[in-house]
Amino acid sequence: MKAFTIMWRVIKSAYEELFLCVGMSLLWWAGLFLVVTGAPATMGIEHVANRLANYKRADSGFFWESARLHLRQGFFLFWLSVIVPPALAFNVWFYANSEGWLRFISLVWLWVLLLWLLISQYLFPLFWQQDEPNIRLAFRNAALLTAKYPLYSLLLFLFQILLIFICVAVVLPLPLLLPAMIALAQNFGTLGLLQEMGLAPEPPEAEVDRRG
């Protein structure tokens, strides 16, 4: 049930901050097109999404600030997210096309690929959630969240896949929202778990319901 609540919060936030989300998405697409600026653009859009998920003030200024700061960590996380999945997928394909018992190794690599995809969706949000961003701590906490909430992590990942399919199926304007929607899903999803664990404040509507 928590996962579906998070999905609603993502859609609600994207609607309420529509112009900001479109603007951030366009900047992200532009950054990805230039390749070398893909990492700063990803750091920027994830930071803005993290502020929205924390119900803090967010504008394009935070995009540019975060794209400039933590540049080294941004490149590391970005290229890790770009290189690792294809590398793991290649191992799955290679062993699946082998003969004999080697084919069974492809199942191991398939599980590793799925595990990486589930863990990686928490990396950027956890990085920005820290008072002093640290990649090693983000990795550790992402692995712990995935291990403790595997079904939730899977549903969150499938929600992002659904968003991609919907945006690809529609020519305009949804593709313009896709990067922001994915960033929002990851950050709201991460905050949802942290709220469940008492490590992040509840959203405003939950506080109102509790007082009421």
* Nearest C-alpha neighbor of 45 from the set 35, 34, 29, 57: 29
Distance CA 27, CA 180 (A): 10
183, burial (CB in 10 Å: exposed 0-12, middle 13-18, buried 19+):
buried
Q: How far apart (Å, rounded) are the C-alpha atoms in residues 170 and 1?
A: 28
Give the pLDDT band of residue 174 (cuts 50, 70, 90): low
User: Stretch 46-69: mean pLDDT, rounded?
Assistant: 89
- Is 50 exceeded by the pLDDT of residue 209? no
**Alpha-carbon distance 126 to 138, whole Å?**
5
Residues 62-89: what's their mean pLDDT? 89
pLDDT recorded at residue 201: 81
Q: pLDDT tens-digit profile of 117-143?
A: 999 999 999 999 998 889 999 999 999
The tokens 């956890």 sit on which residue?
Answer: 126
pLDDT on residue 206? 56
- What pLDDT does residue 173 have? 61
Given a cut of 50, is residue 91 above it in pLDDT? Answer: yes
Write down the pLDDT at residue 103.
85
Q: Can you give the residue ranges of every domain in the chain?
A: 2-201
Q: Which two tokens stand for residue 138?
A: 């983000």
Residue carrying structure tokens 């018992």: 101
Judged by phi (left if over 0) then psi (alpha if -120 to 50, else beta), residue 35 lies in: left
Query: What is the spatial distance between Cα 108 and Cα 105, in angstroms, rounded to a whole number?
Result: 5
Q: Look at residue 198 and tell me whether its pLDDT is greater than 90.
A: no
At 26, the amino acid letter reads L
Asked whether residue 172 carries a pLDDT value surpassing 80, the answer given is no
Cα angle 82, 152, 73 (rounded to 5 degrees) comes to: 30
DSSP 31-96: HHHTSTTHHHHHHHHHHHHHHHHTT----HHHHHHHHHTTHHHHHHHHHHHHHHHHHHHHHHHHHH
Tokens at 6, concatenated = 């998070």
The confidence score (pLDDT) of residue 9 equals 92
The overall average pLDDT reported for the chain is: 88
**Could you tell me the pLDDT band of residue 171, with boundaries at 50, 70 and 90?**
low
